[in-house]
Each structure stands twice: as structure tokens, then as C-alpha cells.
Amino acid sequence: GAGVSQSPSNKVTEKGKDVELRCDPISGHTALYWYRQSLGQGLEFLIYFQGNSAPDKSGLPSDRFSAERTGGSVSTLTIQRTQQEDSAVYLCASSLGAPGTSGRGGEQFFGPGTRLTVL
Amino acid sequence: KQEVTQIPAALSVPEGENLVLNCSFTDSAIYNLQWFRQDPGKGLTSLLLIQSSQREQTSGRLNASLDKSSGRSTLYIAASQPGDSATYLCVCTGGGNKLTFGTGTQLKVEL
């Protein structure tokens, strides 16, 4: 597609429920990232996928969070047993290559985000 | 641990003014530095990416510079317009492809 897309754009759920957030990266981009941005806060790195390598999960805040990337394209971020502090905007980004790639291969392109509200 | 700070945190200027946004980073071992803008309720839009070997990049009214030795980058916006109002973020890519986001500068350009 022309850009990174995310769905849903908004999600309201009850505490304790599981949610799935979807990211469609730009076609051909090997790197995919998930971030979250809480109200009034900066971006918090969650997880990074690069090609077929094992993902960098160092940013996931708890074992309730998990993500997968199928076929090197679409990614799903799953939050189990949601808590109110999980409320945030979840942003996905992709880049042609790894972040440190020479030229513009490391340039990140962001999706519009999913606003998650946990009641 | 890389720390990226942006000063000022907020800035309000009249339309037409030239302005400079600052980004400081503590670890100079970076691969590149990228500037983004974020509009309320929306994702991030890439503005400029500077490789570690470069000193500056230009796009339209925007010019970004990089001084690795001093751990600083600046984003210069010429002839500011109300449409430039947004939050501006700088992001450093370091070893292990680790990305560190700055604290952001909220810019308002007034008519």
C-alpha cells in the first residue's frame, strides 16, 4: 500500500479483556516497530521485527503483551487481560531496512495509530 | 544509555519567523538521526534523516544539522507558517539498531 495502515483506529474495551491491534507495513519493508504513546508522554518502544530474525522484545512492559509478524508482512500486537494503564495510542512503523541502514533505508514511516481506551 | 533531550519543550512564534529547534543526545555513537512531526491525534511524519557521516539535510523550508562530536542536532524552519504547528521529535539510532526518541518540542505558529 501507499503507507503504513493500522486497525482499528479506535478501540474501547473493558478491563480484563484481550485486544488485538493490527499493522500493515509498507510493502517490501523488512523492519517493523511497535510503540506506544501515553497521554502527555513520549514514545515508548515496544518491539522490533527485522526480516526473519528473532524480534527485539526488550520494550514489552509485561508478559501480557505479545506481538507476531506473519510472513514478514502484517503484524498483530496482542494485549491480554487489559488494564487501565494500557490506555494509550499504539503506533506502528516500518522501514525498508534496519534502523542503522545507510542511505534512507533506515527511515521510519509511521501509521496513524490505534487509540486504545481501557475502561 | 542514550538520552535525547529537546529544548525548548514548547515554543510559540508569530507567522513568518525563522526558528530553531534543538536536540541533544548523550551518546555520539549513532548511525543516524531523524526528525519527525506529530500532529494531534495522528501518527508521525518523517521530515529529514541525517546519516552519521552527514552534516546537514535540507527539504524545502526545513534544514537539519548534525554535530556528532557535541551531541547536537538542530532543525531550522524558515518563514514559519501556521501549518507548521505540531510537535517535533528527534530520534537517534544507535548500536543494536536501538532507537531513542527525544522529549519533543511543541510548536505553535500564530497568525
pLDDT tens digit string along B28-53? 999 899 999 999 877 889 999 999 99
CB-based contacts of B107: which residues, under 8 Å, 6+ apart?
B10, B11, B12, B13, B19, B21, B77, B80, B84, B85, B86, B87, B88
- Give residue A61's pLDDT band: very low, low, confident or very high (50, 70, 90): very high
**C-alpha to C-alpha distance for B59 and B89, rounded to whole angstroms:** 16
Mean pLDDT of chain A: 91
Q: What is the pLDDT of residue A75?
A: 97
Joined together, the cell numbers standing for residue A2 give 501507499
pLDDT higher than threshold 60 for residue A48? yes
Size of interface A-B (CB pairs under 8 A): 57
- Give residue A92's pLDDT band: very low, low, confident or very high (50, 70, 90): very high
Q: What is the pLDDT of residue B70?
A: 95
Q: Which of B45, B97, B104 sits opposite A100 (nearest CB)?
A: B97
- Give residue A41's pLDDT band: very low, low, confident or very high (50, 70, 90): confident
Q: Which of A42, A107, A111 sits opposite B49 (nearest CB)?
A: A107
pLDDT higher than threshold 60 for residue A1? no
Residues of B with CB under 8 A from a CB of A: 31-32, 34, 36, 41-46, 49, 51, 89, 91, 93, 96-99, 101-104
Using alpha carbons only, what angle is made at residue B80 by residues B76 and B81, rounded to the nearest 5 degrees?
145
Mean pLDDT of chain B: 93
pLDDT higher than threshold 70 for residue A24? yes
Give the mean pLDDT of B11-34. Answer: 95
- Give residue A38's pLDDT band: very low, low, confident or very high (50, 70, 90): confident
Q: From the CA of A13, how many Å to the nearest CA of chain B?
A: 19
Q: What is the pLDDT of residue A53?
A: 87
Name the nearest CA neighbour of A13 among A112, A83, A98: A83
From the centroid of its chain, how far is CA A97? 17
The nearest alpha carbon in chain A to B87 belongs to A42
Q: What is the pLDDT of residue B65?
A: 97
With 0-12 CB in 10 A as exposed, 13-18 as middle and 19+ as buried, what is B70? Answer: exposed
- Please provide the size of chain A in residues: 119
Q: Are the Cβ atoms of A91 and B44 closer than 8 angstroms?
A: yes
Q: From the CA of B89, how many Å to the nearest CA of chain A?
A: 9
